[in-house]
Amino acid sequence: HYVVGKPTLVMPTGGYGNYSLLGGTAPTATYGSTSQLGQLVSGNLNVNFGNGTVFVNIGTKFGTTAVNIVNQVGYISGSTFRGCSTNNYETNVVGIFTGTSAYRAGLVYSTQSGGPLGTVAGAAAFQRTGSNYFSTP
């Protein structure tokens, strides 16, 4: 799974951005030598450009089993962001902001499902749908 985009050159320096899911790859679950495809069912990002943090929430489904990818805090560096969470299972997120003033974002994710699904991974794209106190240099 991967995302491609032209990095945002001038990032916002303050304010908040809310991003909605545009689409993504069908997530894969890999356990040992067995893999299966799932569905990407939901997702959003909440970004605080002032303190450089990103909250990621992605919902996937494999048959009747839901796997939520939640990364409490990812950190922005330039036009990229990354985060790791070990609340319940190890989750990793790496992403990029694209477009004017970080209008869109893309990311790849992986998490340990803690069950027979094993590692769940995928890619997703988002578009900013709202912002508060948004500022650029």
CATH fold of 14-130 reads Porin (2.40.160)
How does pLDDT run across 87-113, given as a tens digit for each residue?
A: 666 889 999 999 999 999 999 999 988
Which residue from 119, 127, 92 is spatially nearest to 108, judged by alpha carbons? 92
Q: Do strands 91-98 and 53-62 pair parallel, antiparallel, or not at all (unpaired)?
A: unpaired
Question: Distance between CA 113 and CA 136 in Å, rounded?
Answer: 38
Task: Evaluate if pTM is beyond 0.75.
Answer: yes
Tokens encoding 86: 């070990």
Other beta carbons within 10 angstroms of residue 24's beta carbon come to 21
| Per-residue confidence band for 71, with pLDDT thresholds at 50, 70 and 90 | confident
pLDDT band (50, 70, 90) for residue 50: very high
What is the domain partition of the chain in residue ranges?
14-130
